[in-house]
Amino acid sequence: MKFPIYLDYHATTPMDPEVFRTMAPYFTEIFGNAASRNHEYGWKAEAALENARTQVAQILSAVDKEIIFTSGATESNNLALRGVAEMYRDKGRHIITSNIEHKAILDTCHYLETQGFQITYLPVDNFGMVSVQAVREAIRPDTILVSIMFANNEIGTINPIAEIGKVCKEKGVLFHTDAVQAVGKVEIDVEKMGIDLLSLSGHKIYGPKGVGALYVRRRSPRVRLAPLIHGGGHERGMRSGTLNVPGIVGLGKACEMASRLLLEESTRLRAQRDRMWKAIQAELDEVYLNGHPTERLPNNLNVSFAFVEGESLMMGMKELAVSSGSACTSASLEPSYVLKNIGVGEDLAHTSIRFSMGRFTTDEELDFAIKKVVSTVKKLRDLSPLYEMVKEGIDLKSIAWTGHH
């Protein structure tokens, strides 16, 4: 086993060796600029790009021409939101999103607010799910775009994307989804789901970092976007700049592998995830699952361990590479806004851990991780007077606390 054991696949994934091998020649021998139309170096690079475009399109049931390559999902999200906002601003200046989107969406929305747009941040339910009815009710005559994530990167909840797409179609509003975490985990069909724009990223699906794509619908309706980057007119004028050929070849290969392995991999990951959750529940009480019990990514387990101190929990599990429910902001530990917005209290949020398994997670690693989590929580609780009181049947709410807490 390699330590620390990597259980943070939502943050990034190691590149698959097959992806790496496919990319390698494009750094050296096949180095051409895909825009060079006069010689074989350029043609070969262009052929590789177009092959990758097909591979990315296929995982979404889209058409090649609808794929725009970017530097990653942060850029794809910016291009989708700002591109639509600028292009359709005369039609309306209202955009709908949710309050647990990735920062690449939320911060872009905050920026658009400074540019005269109004944003509705829909609240989600206690499982982190967006209500289709709430989307319907939020749409106004001046709404130009709805952007709702396919699956959440912290708690794994999967939204009713096809139903939201249907509402948007009915109302004639464009629909974007940040599908970074869903690609390769869940079947995606932009036609059946009524998706007009979709963001994905290479490094979340065993491809390279710094490369991603935006799906942009070509017909019914044809979506137009104002570019963020000008010059050269690459990517149908929506994203200028010499294309990152090796990165894009890697993204294509990663998509091809992800669709080929989707069923087998999601089944295996779900089994591992469920095994871990069952083991934790069998060994520990006062543990709470964050996110949806069934409508969730197969590789996501987000748990709050009551009566332990978050910091000590992370310190006690240094052999595991996991994510905590606290975000380090300058001086203090802030609980995650996602957990806060699904109603997890501040104390519990600090004791939350996100485990995410992936392609290279072994059963042996998982066994080690389970033992480590259980023993660390037990050890910390043995030192906790609060936990002892609860075990003795004392209702904590009945205690008259003195001092501040």
**Residues that bind ligand PLP in the complex, under the rule CB under 6 A:** 72-74, 102, 104, 149, 153, 178, 180-181, 201, 204, 212
Q: How far is the CB of 133 from ligand PLP (least distance, A)?
A: 24
CA dihedral 262→263→268→271, nearest 10 degrees, is 120
Helix (H) or strand (E) holding 57: helix 40-60
- Calpha distance 341→166 (Å, rounded): 26
Q: Which is nearer to ligand PLP, 149 or 238 (CB)?
A: 149
List the structure tokens of 41. 């170096």
Q: Is 168 a catalytic residue?
A: no
Q: Which is nearer to ligand PLP, 8 or 256 (CB)?
A: 8
Q: How far is the CB of 248 from ligand PLP (least distance, A)?
A: 14
Q: Which of 109, 168, 255, 328 is catalytic?
A: 328
Helices 40-60 and 245-283, packing angle to 10 deg: 30
Tell me: cis bond preceding 123? Omega within 30 of 0 counts: no
* Residues contacting 152, CB < 8 A, separation 6+: 100, 128, 181, 291, 338
Q: Which is nearer to ligand PLP, 98 or 376 (CB)?
A: 98
Q: How far is the CB of 151 from ligand PLP (least distance, A)?
A: 8
Q: How far is the CB of 255 from ligand PLP (least distance, A)?
A: 14
Q: How far is the CB of 11 from ligand PLP (least distance, A)?
A: 7
DSSP, residue by residue, 352-394: EEEEE--TT--HHHHHHHHHHHHHHHHHHHHT-HHHHHHHTT-
What are residue 333's DSSP bridge partners?
328
The number of residues in the chain equals 405
Cβ(149)–Cβ(159) below 8 Å: yes
* Alpha helix stretches (DSSP H) within 202-330: 245-283, 310-316
- Calpha distance 300→154 (Å, rounded): 8
Residue with the CB atom nearest ligand PLP in the bound state: 72
Q: Which is nearer to ligand PLP, 186 or 389 (CB)?
A: 186
Q: Which is nearer to ligand PLP, 178 or 256 (CB)?
A: 178
* Alpha helix stretches (DSSP H) within 67-154: 73-87, 103-114, 132-138
Helix (H) or strand (E) holding 121: strand 118-122
Q: Which is nearer to ligand PLP, 273 or 354 (CB)?
A: 354
Task: Please give the positions annotated as active site.
Answer: 328
